[in-house]
Amino acid sequence: MSVTYIDAIREAQEKLLREDDRVFLYGQDIATFGGAFKATKGLVEEFPNRAFDAPISEDAMIGMAVGAAIEGMRPIVEMQFADFSSIAFNQIVNQAATHFYRTGMPIPITIRLPSGGTPGSGPFHSQSMEGIYAQYPGLVVLTPATVSDAYYMLLDGVALDDPVIYCEHKFLYRWLKAKAINGDRLPIGQARITRPGKHATVVAYSAMVHEAVRAADRLSQDGWEIEVVDLRSVKPLDLDTILASVARTGRLLAVGEAFPWGGVTAEDVSRVTEEGFHLLDAPPQRLNARDTPVPYHPKLWAAHRPTPESICEALRKLLSF
Amino acid sequence: MQPFTDEVVTNRDFLRSVFQSMLRARILENKLSSLYKAGKIVGGVYLGRGQEAVSATLGTSLIQGTDFFAPLIRDQAGRTAFGEPLLDCTRTYLGSVKGPMRGRDGNIHRGRPEMGMPAMISHLGAQVPVIAGMLFAKRLQGTLAGRVGATCIGDGATSTGAFHEGLNLAAIERLPMVVVIANNQFAYSTPNHRQFACADLVEKARGYGIGGFSVDGTDLMACASVIGEAVKRAREGAGPQMVVARLLRLSGHGEHDDGCYVPAEIRSGHYGRDCIEVAMRQLVDHRIATVDEILAWQNQFAEEVQRAVAQTQQEDVPDPYQEDWTALSTRFPLAQPSVQ
């Protein structure tokens, strides 16, 4: 028996529905059909009147969830693809994210964003939106990279009183398997050292954690010991764990799948530079997707995002200083 | 749409109550305008002059504690009618820390979501799905029966995607919702013919599969019957209801704007009449209130407004050094997972 990343997301929702009357599911094709990726498969049968198909109205879906949260519910909204959350941007950043600061009433909604690239998905079914949402005050942005994190961070995200952007990576859905959901449960806001090392630190999140580990494996054949830090949540950002790692290694590479202008990797580098400049033995580096829309063809796509090869190359450069 | 005037006239208390909210709002807003012109209010002042009959009728038709109301920019009268204290208004405009927004937001961007009145954001149409969601929550909780949610928007907001998405969603769920469109003929300065191409906005109701009503928004009696009926139908389970009230705003978009783009013939036309004067005549003619009573109300409300402003002006404004500067209710780092 094994559990996939998407199984974990489904099981977390099942547990939440079972244990918390305030939770309901809302999204396009999520009820009887079970969702475009089957993250809610069978849940409406198990919990009638707790999972509802939404019209193709992302703005209204989040507005509706905010209203339901005001009246005491804890909606989990599935965007069919993270890319489509652009339609709901206003309700997310202006309605949900400002609500606690303005009125004193928090809005406990969880927005699931099927994120990141898969071969052949093209410009509008591949985006990584975490940096955009993290830029706005009032949102918690989660980017689980493991099966257990996918499970526990969804439980913990829904338990938060604040709006949560839960970025689940589509490539990991069925590719990533674990024997079981293990007990390695960290609180939201704490990063994890996925692989210890001493020569350089790679800070990554979501699917890029796995690419970074592959790169680290390759470099280990040349004797390099690369430490990989999994951010787990990009907001809040666990700067302490990053700085502690950089203190050990003296070198930082921040890797992300999102577009290169600004974003999570820029935040990582600027914070470390600001607060840990004295720890650095080399200029901190960033590696992101390229500054074009995400291309359709698998060959272009594979060269658009960071890969073990490009991470190795960036690390060799970092180690050469 | 049948006139319900006879029935309305018999509801004397309702009409007196609506009119009182109209008058109270007008007096308050006149004061806000003076404060703005005296430089006492920072930011903008947005008035509902000319829209009081529509707004107050809706607010009075709703039951505070049961119903939900998402007022918009020109709904001082509806807010007052729904039970918002005058102090919420003066404190938000003057930035008192004792107000519901504590200086973090201003003017008409205020509310008390815990009391069924969410705080509007500036993005028009955005409150439509929020009200739908509040009602949807009550359905899930099994306490929807007898409840209504309402929101007001202008003619300009009907062009937004949010309005369309929200209303369509409410229609699909057949929620007990009333959307009142105050068609004041200008969205800021943009006239109706640059905003929509249908002959009358109420035609949109049919497209959404919801009830649709038209009313002369300058006529209290007509508003009372039509809006009252729409609220009643929604409450009885007939699904969402749209009311299009035609009127004219009798001021600029905000007090910084003189409304010079409104042509003279529209100002002097039927909808340029002042709904408060119309209402006063109606109440007196139908012997629902006397002139002396109305004058007494006027004095009473002027005093209330004066008291609210005076009290607010003595209150503290926010201190940046005391502000916690956090937009999340959760305090990170979390020591332990919150759910096992």
**Is B114 an interface residue toward A (CB < 8 Å)?**
yes
pLDDT for A39-71, tens place per residue?
999 999 999 999 999 999 999 999 999 999 999
Distance from CA of B231 to the nearest CA of A (A): 20
Residue B39: how many other CB atoms lie within 10 Å: 7
**Is B198 an interface residue toward A (CB < 8 Å)?**
no
pLDDT at B5 over 70: no
Q: Looking at the domain covering B5-84+117-313, what would its CATH class be?
A: alpha beta
Per DSSP, the three-state class of A85 is helix
pLDDT at A186 over 80: yes
Per-residue confidence band for B81, with pLDDT thresholds at 50, 70 and 90? very high
**Is A28 an interface residue toward B (CB < 8 Å)?**
no
pLDDT at B91 over 90: yes
- Buried b / exposed e across A281-296, counting CB within 10 Å, b at 16+? ebebbbbbbeeeebbe
- Give me the CATH topology for the region A192-320: Rossmann fold (3.40.50)
Contacts of A270 (CB under 8 A, 6+ apart): none
Rounded CA-CA distance B5/B3 in Å is: 6
Q: What are the residue numbers of the active site of A?
A: 125
pLDDT at B39 over 50: yes
Contacts of B270 (CB under 8 A, 6+ apart): B218
Residue range B120-136: average pLDDT?
97
Question: Which amino acid is it at A316?
Answer: R
> Do residues A202 and A251 touch, judged by C-beta distance below 8 A?
no
Contacts of A213 (CB under 8 A, 6+ apart): A194, A195, A228
What is the per-residue pLDDT for B6?
55
Nearest C-alpha neighbor of A294 from the set A135, A172, A170: A170
Rounded CA-CA distance B201/B192 in Å is: 10
Per DSSP, the three-state class of B198 is coil
What is the per-residue pLDDT for B244?
98
Say which of B100, B166, B328 has its CB closest to residue A103. B100
**Contacts of residue A137 in chain B, CB cutoff 8 Å?**
327
**Is B137 an interface residue toward A (CB < 8 Å)?**
yes
Report the helix count and the strand count for chain B, using DSSP H and E.
Answer: 12, 7
B181 strand-pairing partners: B153, B244
pLDDT at B334 over 90: no
Interface of B with A in 82-101 (CB under 8 A): 100-101
Query: Is residue A50 left, alpha or beta, with left meaning phi > 0 and alpha meaning psi from -120 to 50?
Result: alpha
Per-residue confidence band for B8, with pLDDT thresholds at 50, 70 and 90? low
> Do residues B162 and B133 touch, judged by C-beta distance below 8 A?
no
Residue range A220-249: average pLDDT?
98
Per-residue confidence band for A115, with pLDDT thresholds at 50, 70 and 90? very high
Per-residue confidence band for B1, with pLDDT thresholds at 50, 70 and 90? very low
**Alpha-carbon distance values, B339 to A146, A160, B254, B328 (Å):** 19, 10, 48, 19
Examine residue A295 and say whether the peptide bond preceding it is cis (omega within 30 degrees of 0). Answer: no
What is the per-residue pLDDT for B333?
80
- Residue A288 has φ and ψ, to the nearest 5°, of -135, -175
pLDDT at B340 over 80: no
Taking chain A, what is the end-to-end CA distance rounded to the nearest angstrom?
A: 46
B122: nearest CA partner in chain A: A94
Rounded CA-CA distance B44/B100 in Å is: 18
What is the per-residue pLDDT for B2?
43
Domain positions in chain A: 3-178, 192-320
**Alpha-carbon distance values, B86 to A79, A234, B95, B96 (Å):** 41, 43, 14, 13
Distance from CA of A68 to the nearest CA of B (A): 4
- A106 and B118 within 8 Å at the Cβ level: the answer is no
**Contacts of residue B97 in chain A, CB cutoff 8 Å?**
none
Residue range B128-146: average pLDDT?
98
Residue B239: how many other CB atoms lie within 10 Å: 18
How much is the mean pLDDT over chain B? 95
**Is A48 an interface residue toward B (CB < 8 Å)?**
no
Nearest C-alpha neighbor of A8 from the set A191, A126, A168: A168
Interface test with B, best of A95, A139, A182, A238 (most B CBs within 10 A): A95
> Do residues A275 and A306 touch, judged by C-beta distance below 8 A?
no
**Contacts of residue A55 in chain B, CB cutoff 8 Å?**
165, 168-169, 172
Q: Which two tokens stand for residue B246?
A: 């035609």
Select the CATH number that applies to the domain covering A3-178 from these four: 3.10.20.30, 3.30.70.270, 2.60.40.730, 3.40.50.970.
3.40.50.970
pLDDT for B145-203, tens place per residue?
999 999 999 999 999 999 999 999 999 999 999 999 999 999 999 999 999 999 999 99
Interface test with B, best of A16, A44, A49, A64 (most B CBs within 10 A): A64
Rounded CA-CA distance B198/A275 in Å is: 60
Say which of B114, B127, B333 has its CB closest to residue A105. B114
Contacts of A168 (CB under 8 A, 6+ apart): A5, A6, A9, A39, A112, A113, A114, A115, A144, A150
**Is B162 an interface residue toward A (CB < 8 Å)?**
yes
- Residue B156 has φ and ψ, to the nearest 5°, of -65, -40
* Domain pair A3-178 / A192-320, same fold: yes
What is the per-residue pLDDT for A217?
98
B121: nearest CA partner in chain A: A95
Residue range A133-146: average pLDDT?
98
pLDDT for A240-293, tens place per residue?
999 999 999 999 999 999 999 999 999 999 999 999 999 999 999 999 999 999
pLDDT for B246-291, tens place per residue?
999 999 999 999 999 999 999 999 999 999 999 999 999 999 999 9
Nearest C-alpha neighbor of B183 from the set B225, B212, B207: B212
- Residue A257 has φ and ψ, to the nearest 5°, of -90, -10
Interface test with B, best of A102, A162, A231, A239 (most B CBs within 10 A): A102
Residue range B12-41: average pLDDT?
97
Residue located via tokens 């939770």: A23
pLDDT at B43 over 80: yes
Label the pairing between strands A74-78 and A110-115.
Answer: parallel
pLDDT for A5-47, tens place per residue?
999 999 999 999 999 999 999 999 999 999 999 999 999 999 9
**Is A111 an interface residue toward B (CB < 8 Å)?**
no
> Do residues B249 and B51 touch, judged by C-beta distance below 8 A?
yes
Contacts of A76 (CB under 8 A, 6+ apart): A13, A16, A23, A24, A25, A26, A109, A110, A112, A158
pLDDT at B339 over 80: no
Nearest C-alpha neighbor of A63 from the set A107, A125, A16: A107
pLDDT at B338 over 80: no
ipTM confidence: 0.97
Question: Which amino acid is it at B306?
Answer: Q
Q: Which two tokens stand for residue B211?
A: 């009830």
What is the per-residue pLDDT for B289?
97
**Is A106 an interface residue toward B (CB < 8 Å)?**
yes
- Buried b / exposed e across A63-74, counting CB within 10 Å, b at 16+? bbbbbbbbbebb
